[in-house]
Chains A and B, each alone.
Chain A
Amino acid sequence: MNTHALPAPLAEIVDDFQALTEPERLQLLLEFSQGLPELPDRLKDHPELLEQVVECQSPLFLTIETEKNDAGSPDSVRLYFKAPKEAPTTRGFAGVLHEGLDGLTATEILAVPDDMPELLGLTRAITPLRMRGMTAMLGRIKRKVAASAAPKA
């Protein structure tokens, strides 16, 4: 698999990670954890609107919303994450997915390969156990996108 299969913003992130040494990759992941945006107020006060990804070692909650675009172009998918600051690895993964996928269309997100997290080159430094959380996060996003994109019966 190569980065050509990925949406442009995500491909750029993967290229950035791949250009670095292992310790630098961890540093970059830390920067993503710091860049993860806060929840908007309307979600902050409504934890019931977010779903927990139980495969993550630390509590991680996420939800998606679709945003109407101008007539003719498909809706954008907006992503929202919540993770405690004591869990920088989990936050970092959420930050990567936010920067790489937020605002894309459902079709673009659903085309992201499930094993995309492996491309970041973090598996050895983070351990396979911790990588599983990121894969689960991506899987959950795709399931939610697929469910909301499905034609309503």
Chain B
Amino acid sequence: MSYPVEENDKFAAYAHPERLVSTEWLAAAIDGGALADGKLVVVESDEDVLLYETGHIPGAVKIDWHTDLNDEVTRDYVDGKAFAALAAAKGISRDSTVVIYGDKSNWWAAYALWVFTLFGHEDVRLLDGGRDKWIAEDRALTTDVTVPAPAEYPEVERNDAPIRAFKEDVLAHFGKPLIDVRSTEEYTGQRTHMPAYPEEGALRGGHIPTAASIPWARAAAEDGTYRNRAELEALYLGEAGLTEGDDVVAYCRIGERSSHTWFALKYLLGFDTVRNYDGSWTEWGNAVRVPIAKGTERGTVPA
């Protein structure tokens, strides 16, 4: 870890406190000139592609989850070469501490963090509470375009296996816990897309058999910060029934909301093996001869 880790009581209870920073910590780091030499880089990643332009944390650079991190042609993430070019252009070196924040309780920020982790970027953290908390606290915003000094970033081959599950992996995972983080209506099959979101064309509504339903936002408090350790344990160990050491797969619709849950399970509760199934319901709901369960019951392991 190249930049000092924040120490406070809430974070200390988490398995990996070094993965979060608070708004106070970030504001102090920026005031202290931390952004000057590229040791600390702040990245905004939002659902709305224009939100950064309306005002952002001074010195923050923008990375768009869709246009920067996805490959247009392969329905996959960018490769090592493209990621190296992106990081370098944003002033990020391999040893930079990267703090990511965004709108909607960091849902897209967590997704960007997960993609950084596919490339093994060591020190990448989330701003607890994200953009909304920063603004609610009346902290500094600017519309000045950040022009980072280009950095050097090595071409690293993406390593998907530890944190990314494909459809075949999920089929082989039956018998071990799955967490569905979509809304209850999507889980039961009443609807195939998020309330108030575009119909994304899943042919069937329902969930992956045996998956527990824990909508992602339940891991976030009203101010967009993660709930404390005891609350997260009640949710995932209590309600979802996970036990220590479990091998877990989380999914949603396209893998964005489940990145938020993946972060909570992996870094806040300390599950070693947590994978995000980014194909999620848009793939599973449409796949031929792949079983689903409907209704509120989790369902049973398919024969």
Contacts from A to B (Cβ < 8 Å): 26-27, 29-30, 33, 52, 54-59, 85-90, 92, 124-127, 129-130, 132-133, 136
In the bound complex, do residue A55 and residue B198 qualify as a contact, i.e. CB atoms below 8 Å apart?
Answer: yes
CB distance from A31 to the nearest CB of B (A): 10
Q: Which residues of B contact A129 (CB under 8 A)?
A: 66, 198, 200
Question: Do residues A125 and B49 form an inter-chain contact, with CB atoms below 8 A?
Answer: yes
A-B CB proximity, top 9 nearest: A88-B50, A127-B66, A89-B50, A55-B198, A89-B48, A132-B198, A30-B50, A30-B53, A88-B54
The reply to whether B50 and A86 form a contact with Cβ atoms under 8 Å apart is no
Whether the pair B103, A86 counts as a contact (CB closer than 8 A) is: yes
CB distance from B103 to the nearest CB of A (A): 7
Say whether chain A's binding surface is mostly helix, strand, loop, or mixed.
Answer: helix
Q: In the complex, A85 Cα to B200 Cα: how many Å?
A: 25
Q: Which listed residue, B50, B51, B103, B200, touches A29 by the CB 8 Å rule?
A: B50
Residues of B within 8 A of A124 (CB): 67, 72
Whether A92 lies near B196 (C-beta < 8 A) is: no
A126 to B51, CA, bound (A): 12
**Sample of 10 more A-B contacts, CB < 8 Å, known A59-B196, A124-B67, A130-B49:** A26-B50, A33-B54, A54-B197, A57-B198, A85-B54, A89-B51, A127-B67, A129-B66, A129-B198, A132-B198
Give chain A nearest CB distance to B258 CB in angstroms. Answer: 17
**Cβ of A26 and Cβ of B198 under 8 Å apart?**
no
A27: chain B residues at CB < 8 Å are 53
B contact residues around A85 at 8 Å (CB): 54
- Name the distance in Å between A128's Cβ and chain B's nearest Cβ: 10
CA distance A55 to B200 in the complex (A): 10
Q: Is the CB of B48 within 8 A of A125?
A: no
Q: Shortest CB–CB separation between residue A91 and chain B, in angstroms?
A: 9
B199 within 8 A of A: yes
Residues of B close to A55: CB separation below 8 A = 198-199
A125 vs B53: C-alpha distance when bound (angstroms): 14
Asked whether B47 is an interface residue with its Cβ less than 8 Å from the other chain, the reply is: yes
Please, which residues of chain B bring their CB within 8 A of the CB of A26? 49-50, 53
A50 to B54, CA, bound (A): 26
> What is the CA–CA distance of A54 and B200 in the complex, to the nearest angstrom?
12
Per-residue 0/1 for B40-74: is the Cβ within 8 Å of any A Cβ (1 yes, 0 no)?
00000001111101100000000000110000100
Question: Given A27-B53, A129-B66, are A87 and B196 neighbors across the interface (CB < 8 Å)?
Answer: no
Contacts of A29 in B (CB 8 A): 50
